[in-house]
Copies of this chain bind each other. A is one copy, B any other.
Amino acid sequence: MKNKLKPETIVIIGAGNVATHLGLALKNAGYQILQIYSRTNASAKELGEKLDVPFTSELNKLIKTADLFLFSLKDDALVSVLEEITPLSGLCIHTAGSLPMEVFKPYVSRYGVLYPLQTFSKNKEVSFSEIPVFVEADNKDDEQVLLSLAHSFSGNVQVLTSDKRKYLHLAAVFACNFANHMYTLASDILENQDLDWSLLIPLIEETADKIKSLPPQKAQTGPAVRYDTSIIGKHLDLLKNNIDQKEIYEVISKSIFKKHYN
């Protein structure tokens, strides 16, 4: 007998980086994707063609009979889309780190979250099998549905509450988004000196690789952790015409120092 809870058909609402990569992973795992919706026809078409499924940019043409609706939208857009398309009888999930599951409550009866802890860019492939995926649902049956869905493409799945998930998302902003901006500032410094930013690649790789064998606090090197005020002073002098970079240098060096000497 068919398990009515197990989703076979999926509609994806959103066509950004997360929707693109999850869409590919779900299609590869054998789920039937019925339709892609995106606010702009261009992005709906791009993902629809990539997944070889129908697409639309008109909410009134959304297929409402899917088993699962996967919302991958900017947080602010989710509620306004829900207002237009509900009621829906399928299981509705979002993929956002900082949005509580309860955002669905006024609109649908079955809802949950599937949050992949990863950074996605459209044209960079990722290996989904090691990505930690965190699921949450309003009832145990739907929790099982989401665990099974996530296990179809990742070997690293766990249940996590909305409250814990928001801290996970905050930590990811530091570990990924802010670390990447450090790479950007470093590459700006080199390019201003006509040096190739890619000289930094082995250093960046090793910095990331190190934490597989040393916790990051133990892996810390550099003038701030040595409290080498002579080098710090020279660096601040090099940055004297770039107020923003200088401010970042100062607040992070201060934080490294406090972390290691307090």
Contact of A174 among B76, B186, B195, B226 (CB under 8 A): B186
Chain B residues, Cβ within 8 Å of A248: 178, 251-252, 255
- Interface residues on chain A, number (Cβ under 8 Å): 93
Contacts of A211 in B (CB 8 A): 180, 183, 201, 204
Residues of B within 8 A of A124 (CB): 210, 213-214, 219
Q: How many copies of this chain does one complex carry?
A: 2
**Interface contact A173-B207, CB-CB below 8 Å:** no
Q: Write out the residue numbers on chain B whose beta carbons fall within 8 Å of the beta carbon of A255.
A: 181, 185, 244-245, 248
Q: Of A2-10, A30-38, A47-55, A162-170, which binds chain B?
A: A162-170
Bits for A190-223, please: 1 = Cβ < 8 Å to B, else 0.
1011010101111111111111111111111111
**How far does the alpha carbon of A251 sit from the alpha carbon of B204 in the complex, in Å?**
22
Q: Chain A's interface: helix, strand, loop or mixed, by majority?
A: helix
> Are A130 and B202 touching (Cβ within 8 A)?
yes
The stretch from A87-95, A137-145, A232-240 touching chain B is A232-240
Q: By the criterion CB–CB under 8 Å, are A235 and B170 in contact? A: yes
Which B residues are CB-close (under 8 A) to A201?
Answer: 211-212
A positions within 8 Å CB-CB of B: 17, 74-76, 98, 117-121, 123-124, 126, 130-132, 156, 164, 166-187, 189-190, 192-193, 195, 197, 199-226, 228, 230-231, 234-235, 238-239, 244-245, 247-249, 251-252, 254-256, 258-259
